[in-house]
Amino acid sequence: MIGTLAGVAVAVLGLAWLGQRALIYFPSDVVPSPAAAGVPDAETITVTTDDGLDLAAWYVPAAGEAVGAVLMLPGNAGNRGGRGPLAAALRDRGLATLLLDYRGFGGNPGRPSQDGLLADARAGAAALRRRSGLDASRTVYFGESLGTAVAAGLAAERPPAALILRSPFPSLADVGRLHYPWLPVGLLLRDEFPTGEWLADYDGPVLVVAGERDGVVPADLSRSVAAAAGPDIELVRIAGAGHNDRALLDGARLVDAVSAFLRDHAQLPVRAAGT
């Protein structure tokens, strides 16, 4: 009986090892038109990675002269169509935005992985710089959920003017232990996304945004990221907001906090609402 149970345990762990990426990444290939996504002025561009993948992305120009450029690094689900309202709000504040879809997302080729997403982010940053004409001193990385780790990893290599981290976590294992407490997540994970480790190699300004009712990445995890970050850190809590609520995706409180932070900490003359 002991041998049988041990065999079952090994089989379960083996399946968890082989199938774990299906539990991490949830891409959608059905991309709406830019107009349907709320950004009719979006331009579809091709982002080419160092390993030879051509990824589709949307570049949303600023309203008027761009005061800065934002590389949007999304979470583990959906595609660029769901980020249209955020890009529209940032556009009205004078910020150009590149809505990047990772490999395997939004009809793009390839399969997602930690190394792959970092390669996609590098290529996205280069494409945004070419298209906007703005250098790193006026570029912001905006990561949401899983994308916060990607943004932190990219910032450690190529520092931006500022980092915006919405629903960040110290490492993916911290999130995994909450949702799969019966698995030895720390031993099984192939994609670790160590946000905290990567942030230690970035000393620029960081805005952390946490939803107080976030059931996917609890606010306590986001607060721990803020507590461990460098001296130029600001934490904004959005009361009553769950992980996928509009308040955390593109709500006025979020956009106002981002705008004020970039004005105060990155010296970008971001416009206030309605100006």
pLDDT at position 184 is: 54
Count of CA atoms in the C-beta half-sphere (13 A) of 38: 15
**Strand pairing category for 54-60 and 95-100:** antiparallel
Which CATH number do you get for residue 153?
3.40.50.1820
pLDDT along the chain (275 residues), means of 10: 33 40 81 96 97 98 96 95 96 97 96 96 98 97 97 97 97 80 62 92 96 94 89 91 94 96 95 77
The reported pLDDT for the residue numbered 20 is 56
188 found inside a domain: yes
- d(C-alpha 32, C-alpha 194), whole Å: 32
Q: Report yes or no on 47 lying in a domain.
A: yes
Q: How much is the pLDDT for 93?
A: 97
Determine contact, residues 96/88, Cβ cutoff 8 Å.
no
Structural domain of 240: 2-265
Q: Is residue 275 part of a domain?
A: no
Q: What is the pLDDT of residue 14?
A: 39
Q: Is residue 190 part of a domain?
A: yes
Q: Is residue 271 part of a domain?
A: no
With 0-12 / 13-18 / 19 or more C-beta atoms within 10 angstroms meaning exposed / middle / buried, residue 234 is middle
**Domain contains 74:** yes
Residue type, 273: A
140 falls within a domain:
yes
Q: What is the dihedral of CA 184, 188, 189, 194, to 10 degrees?
A: 60
Selection from 28, 187, 59 nearest residue 130 by Cα: 59
pLDDT given for residue 2 in this prediction:
38
Query: How many domains does the structure of the chain reveal?
Result: 1
